[in-house]
A and B are shown apart, each in its own frame.
Chain A
């Protein structure tokens, strides 16, 4: 028996609690490192649906995995639409991601069956049928109010819970009313023929809008009442033909059905969309009146209406077939004709991968590097090693500088001090001994001390002349560097072990947080705390925004015996006032704010990584790491995210979408720690084997475009307003760095998501100023 394996039983992943009777089939897979597929529960044109278990929460979910080759754009569209919908009658989206090149959606699992399965046994009692369709209509009305048309309402897409509650699912071909056009031009037959409104078959009749869903609901009610689809035919084309040329036979199939229901169905399925119920809500209301025994508002069909219906319906078969076939070519052609160079670029940008990351330089050392850092101007790279040496390299030439800095023990932490002293390096060893070296041409120790229990936290003032060191025992010491000599200026302590030290917005003040929730602010001029607060729970990690206006503290809830629940609390660094708190599940390992402070990277134990907004609301999850996370940070330009796990695998992500950009692994035994240089073009890593590696991090710019050309094209293409939205400009030189928008119907741009809109609002002024120059 391997004692190490026995010892590892102290930490069991969520999979351990799952009995082997579940999820051990031939095509067993874990998607995104968190969703174990248990078995297939459905299949459709777009992909397969699996029952799955989310390992991190142990809840059962439904995972819809798209087929290979499915349009990424449509997948992105579906995710975007679903994210906007929140209604008890709609199946909620939990998460979206990509696994092995195949996109997947994680949805709420509805335990029950579809209306189609129920109807296979025969028609429903009228009141039951009306109740089901009414509930679905109310949910769809909510979608319409959110600007979304489902376009594929049919019994198969209405799920019935165990208690009979209706849930509408499958928004895979839904249409965004605010951005029509783009998703209908790929020539696919969008919808199920028997339930498709005439305008879905021939777009020349009318634009597809909420009325098409009213038609689908009417057709579903028709099916539920009669036991068969309104235009059931032998093949899709025949059904399509029937749907386009005829009305349901309201006489033969409806003899036994209540006349009011027939009237409601006829109005819902009127060939002219303008004559149907004005909304799904109105349709639901009329069904409600029927259930309550009140008079319905749908009127019987008049002679004039019969004439109008005839005008709407007479389509010869050849015309119908030609229309269906023509959609393929015409749609694609129309799309192509519309695209200009910039539009093409904007369309393709999210898919454009940056240049693959490559090794820029390798610098060898006697033992493995445990930590990497760059100095402020990015010219010097340092990596600390387990032999107690910190080695330095010149970045541009990737050549090691002579004379390493020697610590007493393996290097636990090192960091260049900011400000004018760009080569002053703070180095802390495992035994708690720390030193500040001047690492320029002349190497000498400026200050040294010992932190009992090891250095647990460190921060330096913006000018690099003052720094504070926190010890594992809770002791905090402040030091000043003047005239090439360090001297202690402050000493205090917190209750418990320090987990975070941060400079306050006031350059004379420092904040400390301990694992016992002791949160203090000290004035460096005196050893006494100016104020102290008690943070509820057990703090695990802290992060301060770069402009020092918000301190985030992740805590574990001690009252939760499972220790799964925690809170993310935000504090004002000046007064310690709480700004807000959000709950989360999981144990936070590390956090980092983006350079502009609008986003927060959270690493959970063991391998979950979330990106949240400044209020702690999750924006998306980074899916790809499967080992315990070791660290992560935003690039200095805020466009990319760098993460690495404890097995030495590093990944680079798009910081605005969470899309993986590239993964890299140092040939030297993997990466122990990595960091961006200040310009964002270099990454330095301390490797497990004896090297420090400098990587060329590339630029998130599609091939063939340089910054100047792209700016010029965009300036030519649109108004200042659309450009503001279209691109995020580099504040320093006004060049375009990143697409943050999509086209609108009017040819302008709009943000990808609401969260992006908020982000852009904050950016708009700065960006605008640069454009106007």
Chain B
């Protein structure tokens, strides 16, 4: 059985992918379109912000630039119309747009500074080349998805009344629990070692499932998620 290919069931459902959301954002119903844009903005905001910081923007400026990008470009009706599912990942599309936006922002800032402070002609440049920026955003994106998956795991554990258990297990989910560790946690939480082992196994599998789900949401064709995951793993290893 290849569980990775299986349709999800139970508490986790596969919400619409980014591309589906983009299509919704083109809806003639302004409420549907705005809600979809909001979802997109929320989903990509953290990675884009970190990307700007890594590009050398001070935090205040990064927030301003991102806000401007989201309001002036992202919400622009024609902007998402240019996003072509066949042309590749939505993330790459956003990165290119944001870089261009950042360059044009720096240029206009430079012009403005030159008007107010004659003699200053230096134009701010973006710190990275295009391939470097791509790798950086991929890595940030992978981290973002892991963070999202962890947040979903925490929320579900809280709903199940297992917030404390989640806290105890969370840091150690990336490796097989050792007997000593299981013993220690079981004592601390007043659970049997067997129950702790089962819980650790459940949390780990669930986290993996959420990661997979996060990746699936970003691809247009369901079959593409594996390639995207491998790409992101490579970005993490780089």
Q: Which residues of A contact B (CB under 8 A)?
A: 1-30, 36, 56, 58, 561-564, 585-587, 604-606, 608
Q: Are A20 and B237 in contact (CB under 8 A)?
A: no
**Chain A, residue nearest B176 (CB):** A647
Q: Are A16 and B208 in contact (CB under 8 A)?
A: yes
> Is B63 an interface residue when CB atoms closer than 8 A count as contact?
no
Interface string of B220-238 (1 = CB under 8 A from A): 0000001001101100110
> Is B69 an interface residue when CB atoms closer than 8 A count as contact?
no
Interface hits, B211-226 → A, CB 8 Å:
211-212, 215, 226
Chain B residues near A22: list those with CB within 8 A.
10
Q: How far is the CB of B222 from chain A (nearest CB, A)?
A: 8
> Is B201 an interface residue when CB atoms closer than 8 A count as contact?
yes
In Å, the complex CA distance between A561 and B2 comes to: 11
In Å, the complex CA distance between A606 and B3 comes to: 9
Chain B residues near A6: list those with CB within 8 A.
142, 146, 211, 229, 232-233, 236
Q: How far is the CB of A539 from chain B (nearest CB, A)?
A: 15
**Chain A, residue nearest B198 (CB):** A28
| Residue from A12, A24, A585 whose CB has the most chain B CB atoms within 10 Å | A12
Chain A residues near B9: list those with CB within 8 A.
17-18, 58
| Residue from A2, A4, A13 whose CB has the most chain B CB atoms within 10 Å | A13
Q: Which residues of B contact A (CB under 8 A)?
A: 1-12, 142-143, 146, 153, 156-157, 159-160, 162, 165, 173-175, 191-192, 194-195, 198-199, 201-203, 205-206, 208-209, 211-212, 215, 226, 229-230, 232-233, 236-237
Chain A residues near B202: list those with CB within 8 A.
15, 18, 20, 23-24, 28
Q: How far is the CB of A591 from chain B (nearest CB, A)?
A: 15
In Å, the complex CA distance between A4 and B173 comes to: 12
What total count of A-B pairs have CB within 8 Å? 143
Q: Are A1 and B198 in contact (CB under 8 A)?
A: no
In Å, the complex CA distance between A28 and B4 comes to: 24
The interface residues of chain A, by DSSP majority, are classed as: loop
Chain A residues near B236: list those with CB within 8 A.
1, 3, 6
Q: How far is the CB of A287 from chain B (nearest CB, A)?
A: 41
Q: Are B206 and A5 in contact (CB under 8 A)?
A: no
**Chain B, residue nearest A2 (CB):** B174
Q: Are A24 and B208 in contact (CB under 8 A)?
A: no
Q: Are A9 and B208 in contact (CB under 8 A)?
A: yes
Q: Are B226 and A10 in contact (CB under 8 A)?
A: yes
Q: Are A24 and B1 in contact (CB under 8 A)?
A: no
Q: Are A15 and B206 in contact (CB under 8 A)?
A: yes
In Å, the complex CA distance between A403 and B146 comes to: 51
Known: A10-B212, A25-B195. 5 other contacts (CB 8 A): A6-B236, A16-B206, A16-B212, A28-B202, A605-B2
Q: Are B209 and A11 in contact (CB under 8 A)?
A: no
Q: Are A17 and B4 in contact (CB under 8 A)?
A: no
Chain B residues near A17: list those with CB within 8 A.
3, 6, 8-10, 12, 209
Q: Are A21 and B156 in contact (CB under 8 A)?
A: yes
Q: How far is the CB of B93 from chain A (nearest CB, A)?
A: 23
Chain B residues near A13: list those with CB within 8 A.
3, 205
Instruction: Please pick, from A9, A20, A23, A586, the residue contacting B212 in the complex, using a CB distance under 8 A.
Output: A9
In Å, the complex CA distance between A23 and B199 comes to: 9
Chain B residues near A18: list those with CB within 8 A.
9-11, 202, 206
**Chain A, residue nearest B223 (CB):** A561
Q: How far is the CB of A100 from chain B (nearest CB, A)?
A: 9
Chain B residues near A21: list those with CB within 8 A.
11, 156, 159-160
Q: How far is the CB of B238 from chain A (nearest CB, A)?
A: 9
In Å, the complex CA distance between A605 and B3 comes to: 9
In Å, the complex CA distance between A12 and B211 comes to: 10
Chain B residues near A12: list those with CB within 8 A.
3-4, 205, 208-209, 212
Chain A residues near B7: list those with CB within 8 A.
561-562
In Å, the complex CA distance between A28 and B191 comes to: 10
Q: Are B199 and A14 in contact (CB under 8 A)?
A: no
In Å, the complex CA distance between A562 and B11 comes to: 18
Chain B residues near A7: list those with CB within 8 A.
229-230, 233
Q: Are B195 and A9 in contact (CB under 8 A)?
A: no
Whether A28 contacts B208 in the complex (CB less than 8 A), given A10-B229, A12-B3, A18-B202, comes out as no
**Chain B, residue nearest A37 (CB):** B198
Chain A residues near B5: list those with CB within 8 A.
561-563
Q: Are B195 and A20 in contact (CB under 8 A)?
A: no
Chain B residues near A11: list those with CB within 8 A.
2-4
Q: Are A29 and B198 in contact (CB under 8 A)?
A: yes
In Å, the complex CA distance between A19 and B191 comes to: 20
Chain B residues near A36: list those with CB within 8 A.
198
**Chain B, residue nearest A100 (CB):** B194
In Å, the complex CA distance between A2 and B174 comes to: 7
Whether A24 contacts B162 in the complex (CB less than 8 A), given A3-B236, A6-B146, comes out as yes
**Chain A, residue nearest B203 (CB):** A20
**Chain A, residue nearest B150 (CB):** A1
Chain B residues near A16: list those with CB within 8 A.
3, 205-206, 208-209, 212
In Å, the complex CA distance between A605 and B2 comes to: 7
In Å, the complex CA distance between A668 and B1 comes to: 30
Q: How far is the CB of B150 from chain A (nearest CB, A)?
A: 10
Return 11 A-B CB contacts under 8 Å, by A number: A9-B211, A10-B212, A11-B3, A12-B208, A16-B3, A17-B3, A17-B10, A20-B153, A24-B162, A604-B1, A606-B1
Q: How far is the CB of B11 from chain A (nearest CB, A)?
A: 3
**Chain A, residue nearest B4 (CB):** A11
Whether A10 contacts B4 in the complex (CB less than 8 A), given A15-B202, A20-B206, A27-B195, comes out as yes
**Chain A, residue nearest B146 (CB):** A1
In Å, the complex CA distance between A724 and B146 comes to: 63
Whether A56 contacts B199 in the complex (CB less than 8 A), given A12-B212, A21-B156, A28-B194, comes out as no
Q: How far is the CB of B162 from chain A (nearest CB, A)?
A: 6
**Chain B, residue nearest A21 (CB):** B160
**Chain A, residue nearest B233 (CB):** A7
Q: How far is the CB of A531 from chain B (nearest CB, A)?
A: 32
In Å, the complex CA distance between A112 and B174 comes to: 40
In Å, the complex CA distance between A282 and B153 comes to: 58
In Å, the complex CA distance between A371 and B156 comes to: 44
**Chain A, residue nearest B7 (CB):** A562
**Chain B, residue nearest A25 (CB):** B195
**Chain A, residue nearest B145 (CB):** A6
Chain B residues near A26: list those with CB within 8 A.
191-192, 195
Chain A residues near B233: list those with CB within 8 A.
3, 6-7
Q: Are A9 and B229 in contact (CB under 8 A)?
A: yes
Chain A residues near B191: list those with CB within 8 A.
26
Q: How far is the CB of A36 from chain B (nearest CB, A)?
A: 8
In Å, the complex CA distance between A1 and B143 comes to: 8
Q: Are A29 and B209 in contact (CB under 8 A)?
A: no
**Chain B, residue nearest A604 (CB):** B1
6 closest A-B pairs by beta carbon, nearest first, are A19-B11, A16-B209, A16-B205, A9-B211, A5-B174, A15-B205
Whether A19 contacts B4 in the complex (CB less than 8 A), given A7-B233, A10-B229, A29-B194, comes out as no
Q: Are A28 and B209 in contact (CB under 8 A)?
A: no
In Å, the complex CA distance between A7 and B232 comes to: 9
| Residue from B9, B146, B205 whose CB has the most chain A CB atoms within 10 Å | B205
In Å, the complex CA distance between A7 and B227 comes to: 11
Whether A24 contacts B199 in the complex (CB less than 8 A), given A6-B236, A14-B3, A605-B2, comes out as yes
Q: Are B206 and A24 in contact (CB under 8 A)?
A: no
In Å, the complex CA distance between A21 and B6 comes to: 21
In Å, the complex CA distance between A744 and B180 comes to: 51
Instruction: Please pick, from B160, B211, B212, the residue contacting A24 in the complex, using a CB distance under 8 A.
Output: B160
In Å, the complex CA distance between A608 and B206 comes to: 21
In Å, the complex CA distance between A15 and B8 comes to: 11
Q: Are A564 and B195 in contact (CB under 8 A)?
A: no
Q: How far is the CB of A566 from chain B (nearest CB, A)?
A: 9
Chain A residues near B3: list those with CB within 8 A.
11-14, 16-17
In Å, the complex CA distance between A530 and B165 comes to: 64
